[in-house]
Structure 1
């Protein structure tokens, strides 16, 4: 009988934790990163953007003005359409 009770409690706890999991995912969502104001460290947090590309983004915006859309990021060497597609909902301007 103790085993049945323990299994029932374990199952209920597991169901409760799984039910709360989406709340944790929502809490961890980040606001889009403004590529015209972000520093290299923040830009490096974007998928597909490491320290070298982050530095290149900053260099490009300083040399040629702000980015107006995600597609403008293709002005940066090494950032193509695939990277832009992955960033569209994670960046702002």
Structure 2
């Protein structure tokens, strides 16, 4: 009888521990997150822009929202095949990049 009572008391405790372990937040890795540098001009600060004609795939992937490895590689490949970009709007020619994605990142991009 004592064993049954103890098992009924310990079961919720053990179950609670297992749920707490599963729900605990993951530990952060030791690698720092990428930080976008800002250019100070008086009271206003704005993020630096990324040149589409000189940026590599890794820089594009880190600096732009919604751009992963595949799209960053596609941007570099398009630039290699068609020459330098003449306008930021030329990104719309790349498969997988639409108007919404371009508008989200337009202020971060430049073409020189």
TM-score normalised by the chain length of structure 2: 0.56
Q: Which has the higher strand share?
A: 2
Mapping of 1:72-83 within 5 angstroms?
72-83=90-101
Larger Rg: 2
Query: Which runs of 5 or more structure 1 residues have no equivalent in the other structure?
Result: 1-24
Tell me the distance in 2 between the aligned counterparts of 1:82 and 1:50. Answer: 15
Query: Which runs of 5 or more structure 2 residues have no equivalent in the other structure?
Result: 1-37
1:37 aligns with 2:54: yes
Change (3 A) 1:26 1:58: closer
Q: Is residue 40–residue 55 contact of structure 1 (8 Å, CA) maintained in 2?
A: yes
Q: Which has the higher helix share?
A: 1
Q: More relative contact order in 1 or in 2 (CA 8 Å, sep 6+)?
A: 1
Q: Deviations over 1:5-58 (max 9, x none)?
A: xxxxxxxxxxxxxxxxxxxx8878531111110011100021111111000000
How many residue pairs get matched?
69
1:85 aligns with 2:103: yes
Give 4+ residue runs of structure 1 displaced > 2 Å after superposition: 25-30
Change (3 A) 1:33 1:26: closer
Superposed CA RMSD in Å reads 1.9
Mapping of 1:19-58 within 5 angstroms?
29-45=46-62, 46-58=64-76
